[in-house]
Amino acid sequence: MSVGSDIEAECGRCGKTWHIVIAMIDGRVAQVECGECHKRHRMRSTDTAKPRARRATAAAPTGTRRVVAAKPQVEADPSRPPRFYDASETYVPGDRVEHPAFGPGVVERILGASKVQIFFAGGSRVLAQRRDG
């Protein structure tokens, strides 16, 4: 199973079962889009009709990599021009980036050889960067 695959799931809006996988977390289908009404929702299997338990808090679901903060952990370096985000590039803290979905951001820190944490208006995101070696 991968993003873009067809899958059977129940749609709460129209009741149809043909869907397309649009997001996966930790190898499991996380979000689907109905092939009929195009509503996006969490994966609901047709063979399990159990009611969902309510969450006690508004915490992010397990497996997401988003941290919400009021300002970046490091200041943007105004001497460097903003760069368009590209996973094949390498970044350093203070770099300014422009992401197509998240907008302008500031690189906060490097997480290993292949990940970078970037602060955006909607919160920090962990994204890929060029692998060393």
- Would you state the pLDDT for residue 76? 82
- Would you state the pLDDT for residue 132? 60
pLDDT tops 80 at residue 23? no
Mean pLDDT of the region 37-56: 57
- Of 55, 56, 115, 89, the C-alpha closest to 42 is 55
Q: Which two tokens stand for residue 11?
A: 């749609």
Could you tell me which residue, 110 or 75, shows the higher pLDDT?
Answer: 110
Backbone dihedral region for residue 114 (phi beyond 0: left; psi -120 to 50: alpha; all else: beta)? alpha
Q: Which two tokens stand for residue 47?
A: 């063979």
